[in-house]
A = this chain, B = another copy of it.
């Protein structure tokens, strides 16, 4: 999928919602937690309930790796299931990988060939070598951490995020590369939009971390939308009990409705 195709999908669905599959088994309701493949079962229910309102799903690798080989297998099944529900859904492996060239090449093949994700999140620390192998795959995306939503982004990111944006634009066109820009610093989001007018931003930090869709849309939207707003816990754990899927659907629908209004206002 290239940028125009992603944009058209957003236009069609009236949403730029990415549902984050931070599927933490300790928060599953009892009926799901007791299943052997509880992560996949939970994800399937969430995907069924929310896919109408979302353009993307983002499994957070940590929650799968924490279960070892079984977790990895459930991650693979989750990706396959998303594809089977709607092949156009944009699948982001939130892996934050970053390693030297020959190793990065392996990671790219793990996520793009073995797993059929559309995009992988990458940490830029090690520079160009660690990003380029991901840009060689047609219609696949590298999503580079720029300024993240966590408190300690101030430790190092503030020193170099502008350089990361500049280098990222040099390395990858807006058809292949996005940036992660947190929702928790809207003033910086507006500044980063001016530095990277065409590139899509994957925006975490809405909900549990305190950012809002309104601020993100105001600061970050461009003529091709240019935003994928991720919500994880606030959707998938909206309901704590057996009605979790209904609660997730309600929350996803609310988010999508709000997004459709910002798209309308922008004439998209």
Residue of B with least CB distance to A113: B66
Contact of A69 among B73, B125, B150, B164 (CB under 8 A): B73
Does A38 sit within 8 A of B, measured CB to CB?
A: no
Does A254 sit within 8 A of B, measured CB to CB?
A: no
- Complexed CA–CA distance, A102 and B23 (Å): 12
Of all A-B residue pairs in the complex, the 8 with the closest CB atoms, nearest first, are A127-B152, A127-B155, A69-B73, A62-B106, A128-B152, A65-B110, A129-B152, A69-B72
Binds B, one of A8-16, A92-100, A258-266: A92-100
Asked if B164 and A104 sit within 8 Å, CB to CB, the answer is no
Asked if A65 and B125 sit within 8 Å, CB to CB, the answer is no
Chain A positions near chain B (C-beta within 8 angstroms): 22, 24, 60, 62-63, 65-70, 72-73, 76, 96-104, 106-107, 109-110, 114-115, 123-130, 145, 148-157, 159-160, 163-164, 167
Asked if A156 and B148 sit within 8 Å, CB to CB, the answer is no
A150 partner residues in chain B, CB cutoff 8 A: 100-101, 126-127, 129-130
A63 partner residues in chain B, CB cutoff 8 A: 103, 106
Q: A123-B123, A124-B125 are in contact. Are A149 and B100 (CB under 8 A)?
A: yes
A156 partner residues in chain B, CB cutoff 8 A: 124-127, 160, 163-164, 167
A110 partner residues in chain B, CB cutoff 8 A: 62, 65-68
Q: Could you list 20 A-B pairs, sorted by A, with CB under 8 Å?
A: A62-B103, A62-B106, A62-B107, A65-B106, A66-B107, A67-B114, A96-B99, A100-B149, A123-B126, A126-B150, A126-B152, A126-B153, A126-B155, A127-B150, A127-B154, A127-B155, A127-B156, A130-B150, A155-B163, A159-B163
Asked if B151 and A129 sit within 8 Å, CB to CB, the answer is yes
